[in-house]
């Protein structure tokens, strides 16, 4: 499974800058199916086995798929014929084709595609750059109604993967008759070129929808008028009124929407998002398809699969009151945190009555965290999110017998800290070197000062930049992150991409490094500093590597990137034997 990919391999590639081919990224080498600790042991075996040539554990070669829109259209037609007949021989399948249903791999003979279905309506979108399609299928007759969402991956006319979500009775708001009625009433034409938005705009729109509804009211999703949402079997605009019935006035709560992948059709202005609501193993499989016209949502279709045998119970959401803070209050909270960490004494902080304490993405008791240990802090830097009353502080400890680099978030309300959330890195964590982290954090090139108002990116631009960084490197070469900042430097663990402070972009990664879900993404945003901090996990949402990326933008481009990654295993991570010639820090 993707959640068990060799994370260390992918991270190493970030620095090796290997000659990756300019092709769509969807490939696994032999080690990507191993758990990280298995891959590490395999790497050790290679180092000790001198009798055989050692394969390069950091190599990644994306597959080169070939297709055009006509090939994708023919593949989608063949899928419809196969589903109507219950006979996959009507499709041209690759000899090693993969099959998925409801986000689990299945054998060819077990999928619904083997059951003849009387299809009442279907509609497809086509992603030519990545050679993928998405088809919505509605079945209302034959004794068993369904609404399906199926993706195909195609290469040279052969289907290499079929990936279906199957919804029926018991699934979220399911009503195939209603889904058919309103789907047939909608027209999704090929848009005039002047009305289209870019691929990146479409991917952004997918992320913004989920981020607003389940994370951050400061996100600015592109709501439009008119707009209609078809969810399971509920339609928000049955009278086809000229108004926005898609918009949700406020977030519905905090929930991770993980494992997002995208099929994008710029000609139709459409993007399909497959994702899971909740964790990346048992969370509800979901499909959201968005159509944008003139950059605004026009239609939204959703399918959600209930994996349990119980009716879906949605508790009434009662939002907590917004936290109250200003920048001075947040700055005071971080100063108190630094004093508390230096003393190993949380009484130096102003804590709320029911504080949550989190370390390395696990909730712990107050007396168990590193904040109880006095540390001689050599350097620290903070950012302040007044929109969500949160802070992020980077702490470097090089003396005292145990070195650390720590990334800590605080949540503050009316001057009291409600939550302390720390990532603690030390020896055996990814590329850890506190001395180097200190050296390069204090370099002349590292300017984290307040930006002039005219140079500040918006909150949304900063969140988008965080998503784009991960989505490009670990998913889709057609994502357009704001690389190109000159200079740009990346400090990763203790390894620095620009040790000579040259006037060039050393942050850029030329091509994706593989496919790895970056889950549980949350953001702390400081517009005055042009900076966003992303907490996330590399891989599975429950046990993937905890990570922090601190990203600064100047003039709309990446300028500085700092990363901390926590190795949760007891095994040391494998590093490449030969680093790039201009790279310091291994």
DSSP for 45-89 reads HHHH--SSPPP-TT----------HHHHHHHHHHHHHHHHHT-GG
DSSP for 164-195 reads EEEE-TTSTT--HHHHHHHHHH---PPPPGGG
Residues 534-557: tens digit of each pLDDT: 999 999 999 999 999 999 999 999
Query: What sign results for the dihedral spanned by CA atoms 514, 290, 83, 74?
Result: negative
- Determine the Cα angle at 397 with ends 466 and 359, to 5°: 55
Distance CA 124, CA 154 (A): 14
Check residue 571 and give its pLDDT: 80
Check residue 252 and give its pLDDT: 83
pTM for the model stands at 0.88
Burial degree of 91 (CB within 10 A; 0-12, 13-18, 19+): buried
- Cβ-contact 478, 549 below 8 angstroms: no
| 368-to-358, 359, 377 alpha-carbon distances in Å | 10, 9, 20
Residues 229-238: tens digit of each pLDDT: 999 999 999 9
| 534-to-407, 408, 549 alpha-carbon distances in Å | 11, 12, 5
Parts of the chain with a pLDDT under 70 = 1-63, 314-319, 573-586
Check residue 30 and give its pLDDT: 31
Check residue 575 and give its pLDDT: 56
Query: 69-185 and 327-426: same fold?
Result: yes
Fold that domain 327-426 belongs to in CATH: Nuclear Transport Factor 2; Chain: A, (3.10.450)
Check residue 22 and give its pLDDT: 37
Check residue 69 and give its pLDDT: 98
CATH of 193-304, one of 3.90.76.10, 3.40.50.980, 3.40.1350.10, 3.10.450.50: 3.10.450.50
Number of neighbouring beta carbons within 10 Å of residue 347: 8
* CATH number, domain 69-185: 3.10.450.50
Domain boundaries, the chain: 1-64+448-586, 69-185, 193-304, 327-426
* CA atoms within 13 Å, Cβ hemisphere of 316: 1
């Amino acid at each position: 499974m993707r959640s068990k990919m060799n994370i260390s391999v992918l991270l190493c590639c970030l620095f090796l800058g290997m000659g990756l081919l300019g092709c769509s990224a969807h490939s696994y080498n032999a080690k990507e199916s191993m758990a990280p600790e298995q891959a590490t042991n395999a790497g050790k075996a290679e180092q000790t086995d001198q009798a055989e040539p050692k394969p390069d554990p950091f190599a990644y070669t994306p597959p080169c798929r070939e297709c055009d829109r006509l090939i994708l259209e023919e593949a989608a037609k063949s899928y419809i014929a196969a589903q109507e007949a219950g006979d996959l021989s009507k499709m041209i399948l690759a000899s090693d084709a993969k099959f998925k249903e409801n986000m689990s791999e299945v054998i060819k003979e077990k999928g619904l595609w083997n059951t003849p279905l009387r299809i009442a309506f279907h509609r497809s979108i086509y992603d030519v750059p990545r050679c993928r399609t998405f088809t919505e299928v509605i079945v209302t007759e034959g004794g068993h109604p369904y609404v399906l969402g199926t993706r195909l991956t195609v290469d040279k006319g052969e289907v290499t993967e079929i990936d279906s979500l199957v919804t029926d009775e018991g699934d979220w708001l399911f009503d195939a008759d209603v889904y058919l009625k309103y789907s047939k009433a909608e027209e999704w034409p090929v848009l005039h070129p002047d009305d289209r938005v870019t691929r990146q705009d479409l991917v952004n729109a997918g992320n913004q929808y989920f981020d607003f509804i389940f994370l951050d009211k400061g996100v600015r999703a592109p709501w439009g008028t008119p707009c209609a949402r078809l969810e399971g079997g509920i339609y928000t605009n049955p009278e086809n009124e000229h108004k926005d019935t898609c918009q949700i006035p406020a977030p519905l709560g905090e929930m991770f929407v993980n494992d997002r992948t995208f099929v994008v059709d710029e000609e139709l202005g459409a993007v399909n998002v497959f994702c899971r609501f909740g964790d990346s193993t048992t969370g509800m499989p979901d499909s959201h398809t968005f159509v944008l016209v003139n950059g605004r949502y026009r239609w939204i279709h959703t399918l959600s699969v209930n994996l349990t045998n119980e009716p879906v119970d949605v508790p009434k959401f009662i939002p907590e009151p917004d936290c109250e803070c200003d920048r001075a209050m947040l700055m005071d909270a971080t100063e108190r945190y630094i004093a508390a960490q230096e003393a190993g004494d949380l009484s130096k902080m102003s804590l709320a009555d029911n504080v949550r304490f989190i370390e390395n993405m696990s909730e712990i008791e107050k007396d168990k965290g590193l904040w109880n240990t006095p540390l001689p802090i050599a350097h620290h830097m903070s950012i302040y999110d007044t929109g969500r009353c949160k802070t992020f502080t980077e702490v470097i400890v090089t003396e005292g017998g145990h070195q650390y680099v720590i990334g800590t978030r605080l949540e503050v309300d009316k001057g009291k800290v409600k939550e302390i959330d720390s990532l603690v890195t030390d020896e055996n964590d990814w590329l850890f070197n506190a001395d180097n982290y200190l050296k390069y954090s204090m370099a002349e090139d590292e300017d984290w000062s307040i930006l002039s108002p005219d140079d500040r990116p918006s909150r949304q631009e900063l969140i988008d930049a965080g998503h784009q960084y991960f989505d490009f490197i670990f998913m889709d070469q057609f994502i357009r992150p704001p690389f190109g900042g000159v200079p740009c430097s990346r400090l990763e663990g203790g390894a620095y991409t620009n040790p000579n402070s040259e006037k060039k972009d050393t942050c850029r990664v030329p091509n994706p490094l593989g496919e790895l879900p970056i889950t549980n993404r949350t953001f702390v945003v400081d517009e005055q500093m042009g900076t966003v901090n992303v907490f996330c996990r590399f891989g599975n949402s429950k046990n993937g590597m905890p990570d922090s990326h601190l990203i600064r933008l100047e003039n709309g481009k990446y300028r500085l990137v700092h990363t901390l990654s926590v190795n949760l295993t007891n095994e040391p991570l494998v590093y490449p034997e030969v680093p790039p010639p201009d790279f310091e820090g291994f």
